[in-house]
Homo-oligomer: A and B are copies of this chain.
């Protein structure tokens, strides 16, 4: 039974979205819940990865694509070894996300959708402010484009849904698709904060 509950296949879950859209928060919740329930999982956060795997890369389109390809390579290797690899990276360009999809099987793209104006208000690290003041070049959503996914497996609306609800929807998706046993789901509503949404 124990073995059955933790049985799972390899998989890449790719979170894409604007800065401050909620990628890191949600992916961390998903990752924590998977680990808590005995699933082999790894989380690659775009910002953190720039400290090791992709040190020295900047924010030009070329460097951003290289950054994404390297995270993708890590995810690919883990996925084919039965690990659930989770990436949270702005990954603004559609073409390179498409490349990853063609390289990695199975691959799930999750669009963390939040209106630009709301992301700007959140601005957890003050980056939008600096970008809008012209102090930060190549900032996605301000001076650099963000290309929305055309056919993501899931869209999360983080202006309307709490992070815990978003995380649960991701977990339910991978259970429904048969990648993991439903033992990974939080019990009922007990782990989910059900206070009204902040708008």
A residues sitting closer than 8 Å to B (CB atoms) are 40, 42, 52-53, 55-56, 66, 69-70, 73-74, 77-78, 81-83
For A74, give its contact among B66, B69, B74, B83 (CB under 8 Å).
B74
Q: With A81-B81, A83-B81 as known contacts, state yes or no: A53 contacts B73, CB within 8 Å.
A: yes
- A sample of 9 more A-B contacts (CB under 8 A), given A40-B82, A52-B69, A74-B74, is A40-B81, A42-B77, A52-B73, A53-B53, A53-B73, A77-B78, A78-B78, A81-B81, A81-B83
Point out the residues of chain B lying under 8 angstroms from A55, CB to CB. 66
Expressed in whole angstroms, the Cα–Cα distance for A82 and B74 within the complex equals: 15
For A52, give its contact among B52, B56, B70, B83 (CB under 8 Å).
B70
Per assembly, the copies of the chain total 2
Expressed in whole angstroms, the Cα–Cα distance for A104 and B169 within the complex equals: 35
Expressed in whole angstroms, the Cα–Cα distance for A70 and B55 within the complex equals: 10
Q: Top 9 nearest A-B pairs by Cβ distance?
A: A81-B83, A40-B81, A52-B73, A42-B77, A53-B70, A53-B73, A81-B81, A78-B81, A74-B74
Point out the residues of chain B lying under 8 angstroms from A40, CB to CB. 81-82
Expressed in whole angstroms, the Cα–Cα distance for A163 and B70 within the complex equals: 32
Point out the residues of chain B lying under 8 angstroms from A74, CB to CB. 74, 77
Expressed in whole angstroms, the Cα–Cα distance for A197 and B73 within the complex equals: 40
A62 to chain B, nearest CB (A): 11
Expressed in whole angstroms, the Cα–Cα distance for A42 and B78 within the complex equals: 10
Point out the residues of chain B lying under 8 angstroms from A78, CB to CB. 77-78, 81
* CB-defined A-B contacts under 8 Å, sample of 20: A40-B81, A40-B82, A42-B77, A42-B81, A52-B69, A52-B70, A52-B73, A53-B53, A53-B70, A53-B73, A55-B66, A56-B56, A74-B74, A74-B77, A77-B78, A78-B78, A78-B81, A81-B81, A81-B82, A81-B83
Point out the residues of chain B lying under 8 angstroms from A66, CB to CB. 55
Expressed in whole angstroms, the Cα–Cα distance for A77 and B66 within the complex equals: 20
